Structure 1
Amino acid sequence: MATYIWQTENWPNFTYQAEAILTPLGKCRKLQGELLQQLATLDENFSLEAEATLLEAEALRTSEIEGIQLNPQSVRSSVAKKLGLEDAGIGKVGQYEENLVDILLEATLNKNAPLTEETLFSWHAALFPTGYSGRHKIQIGHWRSDEKGAMQVISGRPGKQIIHYEAPPAERLPKEVGSFLEWFATANEKDGIIRAAIAHFWFVTIHPFDDGNGRLARIITDMTMAQDEQTSRRAYSISAQIAGNRKAYYQVLEQTQKGDGNITEWLVWFINTLEQAMLKSKDLIKQTLAKADFWKTHATTPINDRQRKVLNKLLDAGLDGFEGGLTNKKYIAMTKASSATATRDLVDLVEKGMLEKSAGGRSTTYYIEITY
């Protein structure tokens, strides 16, 4: 009896219940159309700013899912440099961050380029520029081997480990990857969202590399959705949404990988996750437009660099992102100004109508009166 999906007779001919995905897919498609229309209303500068924010989230979260914590400033600097934003060059950029941002951009900018073995090898090498994953040397530019045993997804302490999944043997990889790439090149007639979900699941199930398979699966997902939407602009971050629900992500993968080839549950989960990512992106665009309106209103208001920095942080945080509001103490922490300078700056911003003051509790707080 087959333990894993790749051991079934029908592999890799996936099946699913169309009636189960019809409603969530319709909702997601409607939201997708609204989101893309919203993006079209942004001018070039703010469209780039929104894309930069989403690209940063994708880089940070796709790594976080694998337990890799990146320096947000390093990622921001790399993204800014690639997109030609004002803060390009601020902060030191590591080689991994630089390479990851390159791959994420390539996946959407070159969305219609063929996905080949060479592409996968180059992406994999870029994810592991030293040839090591942590302290372990891994195969770069090659499929994994089984020299150290089968490729397994394991959790728990030694002696009490649980095997969640075992990937196909290494000897099958050339054929397995070949079948996947052939399907990817010819499956454009399928619904784009369903195609992205299948591509993600299929690749991570094959698990062709020693490490980095999840990150590559999500990059392939980005590429597939860019093909579906026929845009090179990133409209949302699915990795950020997955990162916020990692436990459910691994659970549905495990259940489907131990199934008989019916991937309905995975498809429903993927579509719902994509919908949530799009909803967050819509909020981001509203926030970006509100930020644009704010600076348009105050285009000729004279302020210093400290004030501009703090105002941008407040605008980026949105309605609920700046817990407790802005205080003199927080202003000092962000700008390194003295207490007296912070007080003068804040009073000046209130007088110019850029901040409003709320006296409550033990300290005065400040906020921006803006509609998102």
Structure 2
Amino acid sequence: MDSEIIKWIWQHRDYPHFKYDKTKLSILISEIDYQRGILDGMSKLFNQEDIRNIEIDTLTDEAINTSLIEGEVFKRESVRSSFRKKLDKDFDGRSDKYSTAATDSLVEILLDCSLNKDPLTLDRLHGWHNCLFENRYSRLDRINIAKFRTHDDMEVVSGAIGHEKVHYKAVPLSSMDEDIENFLEYCNSSDENIYIKSAIAHLWFVSIHPYDDGNGRISRAITDSILSKQTLHTEFKLYSVSTAINSDRKAYYDVLDKTTNLFKNRNFDITLWLDWHLNTLKSAMIDALKNIEYLVEKTKFWDIHRKQSLNERQIKVLNKILDKGAENFEGGINTKKYISLTKVSKATAVRDINELLEFGCIKQVQGTQGRNVRYRVLV
């Protein structure tokens, strides 16, 4: 890149004093506050065991999805077991056969983000990075672990060999230390609205891009750390920002590109990024409320049916449906799906379904019959 061409956000004369129109975000901020208020209120409806299960599920979603954004896949049972070892007093860690060293390390990051209210420091950032990459290679090359990159040519690139497209070139080493110092000061001392602050911190860190790898995951951990300072009635926030980001991953990278590239953002205005990030945060809270509503439905359902003589297969299928929300279980339940979920014969599946009908657990979907008959859970 020609050094005289001003293309990247950190090359602007006003960087890192980001420009944005807060008035355009005021209604959105109020809507987020409203959703968070509902979440706080809903959390009072549950006992400590239920709240802890919601927290573990939310943290598990966060861990899985922040990794998926970068193309790294973890098994849900592995991540959940790693969290349960740390948070569930009734979990027998000695018989755990699912958690791995990698999921244990990922869990350490998210627990520190949520529970450690101390200022953000270099040591904490490097500790998180160590958890991401300890004893691991990044593809063929060994990366610097728990320390910043030592080269200037840090680029975000996509495309096949010989047809690479440069999406971003990171802050040069000559100014990186000062930039990090200013960044940490902002995270620890700024009195900006917490939602805007978390979005700016996210953008700023990926703009610096100080590590050889893992910058996206660390930036989302920073977002989590800032937002976690706002929890009131629970130890952990009950919504997952990374899950919402991963559901619209292309838009995530598109808006970062439009914000950090001065050819596309000539006014050095990050309002577009803030608007997208805050809308994503709002979506995360709305999704969390839906999941809690499903838990309320599930609790009411079992209050009615827990004394009935249901077998393990029937309980498994009912919980599978209730965990997703009865209205989200596409097509309802039928004999074929029941067999797929329980691995039983058709005769056994039909018998189980007929018993569920007799107990009033399910009801035939109106307009379905014969081979196409379907059932829905009564909640």
TM-score by length of 1: 0.92
Q: Which residue of 2 aligns with 1:30?
A: 34
Partner of 2:236: 233
* Structure 1 match to 2:100: 94
The match for 1:309 is 316
Q: Displacement of 1:177 after TM fit? A: 1.5
Deviations 1:280-336 (A, max 9, x none): 111111111111111112232222222211111010121343222222222222222
Q: Percent same amino acid at aligned positions? A: 38
- The alignment's C-alpha RMSD in Å is 2.0
Aligned partner of residue 108 in structure 1, secondary structure: helix
What is the number of equivalent residue pairs in this alignment? Answer: 366
Is 2:228 the partner of 1:219? Answer: no
Larger CA deviation: 178-187 vs 339-348:
339-348
Matches of 2:8 and 2:189 in 1, distance apart?
Answer: 26
Where does residue 143 of structure 1 map in the other structure? Answer: 148
Aligned to 2:210: 208
For 2:176 and 2:211, locate their aligned partners in 1 and report how far apart those are by CA, in whole Å. 10
C-alpha distance after superposition, 1:94-121 (max 9, x if no partner):
22222112211221122x1221111111
Q: 1:1-372 to 2 correspondence within 5 Å?
A: 1-84=5-88, 91-110=97-116, 112-146=117-151, 150-187=153-190, 189-230=191-232, 231-259=234-262, 261-358=268-365, 359-360=368-369, 362-370=371-379
Shift in Å at residue 354 of structure 1? 1.7
Contact 2:360 2:378 in 1 (8 A): no
Q: Is the 8 A contact 1:52 1:79 kept in 2?
A: yes
Contact (CA 8 Å) 2:36, 2:285: kept in 1 or not? yes
Question: Residues 79 and 360 of structure 1: is their aligned pair in 2 closer, same or farther, counting only changes over 3 Å?
Answer: farther
**Cα–Cα, structure 1 residues 163 and 312, in superposed 2: closer, same or farther, change >3 Å?**
same
Q: What is the CA distance between 1:31 and its match in structure 2?
A: 1.7
Is the CA contact 1:35–1:235 (under 8 Å) kept in the aligned structure 2?
yes
Letter in 2 for 1:350: L
Per-residue CA distance 1:177-236 (angstroms, 9 max, x = gap): 12211221111x221111111111111111111111111111111111111335532221
Q: Post-superposition shift, 1:90?
A: 5.8
Which secondary structure state, in structure 2, belongs to the residue aligned with residue 362 of structure 1?
A: helix
Dislocated runs of 4+, deviation >4 Å: 85-91
Measured after TM superposition, the shift of residue 86 of structure 1 is 6.8
Give 3-state SS (helix, strand or coil) of 1:140's partner: coil
For normalisation by structure 2, the TM-score amounts to: 0.90
- Closer, same or farther: CA 305–81 of 1 in aligned 2, 3 Å: farther
